[in-house]
């Protein structure tokens, strides 16, 4: 019995909030890039898997929420930075119109990505918390 408990603890190990946040960010980013070509659900698999795994690594729903906010904020800062970069190159009306279209679509994706990441992290943290009690 003790060997099984040691294996479960190692596989389902707990991380710090920054460690769980790193799991969320890396998994959601990589899976979104790799599966973005799948119609409709491809871009959303990454945040769901990353949030769930990171939430389980965080250990509780509260810690998972704290860990999920950091990747969402980092992604938001990256999108705003890209928007500022695109605005700098928008001297031509065509480039400006394309930048507005891309920024709008990216904003919608950002909201959906962050909501899925936070929701999956809360579920993963709650599941880990329930399994320990």
Residue 7: per-residue pLDDT:
47
Q: Which two tokens stand for residue 97?
A: 């119109």
Question: pLDDT 10s per residue in the chain (133 long)?
Answer: 455 554 445 455 677 888 888 888 888 888 888 887 888 888 889 899 999 999 999 988 999 999 999 888 887 887 777 777 777 766 777 777 777 787 778 788 888 888 999 999 999 999 998 988 7
Residue 98: per-residue pLDDT:
78
Residue 8: per-residue pLDDT:
47
Residue extents of the structural domains in the chain:
14-132
d(CA 44, CA 124): 16
């Amino acid at each position: 019995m003790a060997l099984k408990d040691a294996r479960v603890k190692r596989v389902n190990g707990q991380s710090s909030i920054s460690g769980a946040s790193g799991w969320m960010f890396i998994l959601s980013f990589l899976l979104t890039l790799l599966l973005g070509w799948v119609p409709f659900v491809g871009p959303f698999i990454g945040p769901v898997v990353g949030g769930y795994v990171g939430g389980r690594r965080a250990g509780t729903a509260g810690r998972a929420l704290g860990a999920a906010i950091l990747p969402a904020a980092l992604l938001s800062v990256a999108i705003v930075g890209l928007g500022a970069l695109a605005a700098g190159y928008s001297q031509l009306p065509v480039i400006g119109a394309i930048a507005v279209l891309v920024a709008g679509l990216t904003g919608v994706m950002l909201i959906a990505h962050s909501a899925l990441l936070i929701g999956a992290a809360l579920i993963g943290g709650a599941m880990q918390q329930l399994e320990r009690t």
